[in-house]
Amino acid sequence: MNQTETVPARTLTLLLGLTVGVIAANLYYVQPLVAMISNALGIATSSAGLVVTFTQVGYGVGVLLLVPLADLLENKKLIITLMMVAVAALLGLAFATHVIPYFIAALVLGVGTSAVQIVVPYAAHMASDSHRGRVVGSLMSGLMLGIMLSRPISSLLTDLISWHAVFFLSAALMTVMAFVLYKLLPPRQPEHTENIKYTRLIASMGELFVNTPVLRRRAIYQAFMFGAFCLFWTSAPLYLMSETYHLSQTAIAIFAFAGVAGAISAPFAGKLADKGLSTPATIVAMIAAIASFAVTHIVEPGSYVALGILVFAAILLDAGITATLVLGQRAIFSLKPEYRGRLNGLFIATIFVGGAAGSYAGAWAYAHGGWMMTTIVGTLFPATALVYFATEWVTGFRKNQN
């Protein structure tokens, strides 16, 4: 990484990877705790999903309206400020005993958590062109580890103490990370921002999405891939708790740890991108995601072998989704540096739509057709991404890029 501070480049990359994991986990801690928190706050079962939704809405707002500020304001201060906003929200959640305060804190937490999408382009700025893929890959490993570890950690901590302890722990981790970043992170002031106003900054995002085919395509590919990821992790716990497997909440938490192994694909994908092999890597990753749903039907469900195959499927799917995420961000970060904050905001916002669709589709498919229907619908997500990727040659897009 190109930085003039005394912090070694590898140390700084590891620090930023840990940071994105700690921040991103805040979006997923509550997913296994929805029933418990909604019962504690007196939320009706039909509205229990709002426990997760408000944080997601806040995150979407932050990604669209605050992440673009990375192209305008000094990045280090912006990251730390948003992290402290998240800390305040976490404490609000920890002490919440009524619905309205909880929802307000959850919304603010989502806004603060959008800091993770400022850290990633910051790291891309600090990396050289020849190593940018590897750096982004390292951060995506941290991101996926944060996502995958958040669910089992929150489940186990709740079993041992209470759901309040999850938010206290996260607030402590976020505070420590903010202090470390304050001490070690080199400042980064965006260039050529003297005449850019915030309103113009936000207005330009629509133009960027329409006029930047690399961004648009990579965002749509990843939206379908992330949709498959959310579909799987929405429906898999339902499947594991069903009569087929009868797993407990703790056992499902342990199952979730298996998916962490998929994050290992991130640095490899980054290295392949740096070597100009993004195209074959993307194809392999999409095929892996398709295969992950198919392999779950190799043997009769309910046995230990079938459960082992389901674990393998989770790892394979997560590896594919992580790889395409790295490849996509590597591609958009190779565009104009002065647009990276806005490009990343658009990229993540588009993915967010795909994830929301996948979560809904997963619950719907399992309710209407069990695991068979779930895997059929799940396969359609990466299959659609692969078909759309193939149109790069049909439309001449690939030719124009080379």
Query: Per-residue pLDDT averaged across 367-388, rounded?
Result: 94
Cβ atoms within 10 Å, residue 317: 28
Residues in the chain: 402
Is the predicted pLDDT of residue 296 greater than 70, yes or no?
Answer: yes
| Cβ 227 vs Cβ 361: under 8 Å | yes
Query: Per-residue pLDDT averaged across 64-92, rounded?
Result: 91
pLDDT band at residue 129 under the 50/70/90 scheme: low
Give the model's pLDDT for residue 67.
Answer: 85
Give the model's pLDDT for residue 92.
Answer: 94
Tell me: the pLDDT tens digits for 82-92?
Answer: 999 999 999 99
Query: Per-residue pLDDT averaged across 148-169, rounded?
Result: 85
Amino acid at 307: L
Is the predicted pLDDT of residue 284 greater than 90, yes or no?
Answer: yes
Amino acid at 209: F
C-alpha dist (Å) from residue 365 to 81, 127, 171, 311, 353: 41, 42, 36, 20, 18
Q: Which residue has the higher pLDDT, 200 or 103?
A: 103
Give the model's pLDDT for residue 174.
Answer: 95
Is the predicted pLDDT of residue 98 greater than 50, yes or no?
Answer: yes
| Cβ 319 vs Cβ 264: under 8 Å | yes
Tell me: the pLDDT tens digits for 32-48?
Answer: 776 678 778 887 755 65
- For 217-260, the DSSP string reads HHHHHHHHHHHHHHHHHHHHHHHHHSTTT---HHHHHHHHHHGG
- Lowest-confidence pick of 172-181, 231-240, 262-271: 262-271
| Cβ 309 vs Cβ 255: under 8 Å | no
Cβ atoms within 10 Å, residue 147: 23
- For 18, the token pair is 């840990």
Tell me: the pLDDT tens digits for 319-355?
Answer: 899 899 889 988 887 887 777 778 888 888 898 888 8
Q: What is the model's pTM?
A: 0.79
pLDDT band at residue 54 under the 50/70/90 scheme: confident
Tell me: the pLDDT tens digits for 346-365?
Answer: 888 898 888 878 877 887 88
Give the model's pLDDT for residue 115.
Answer: 92
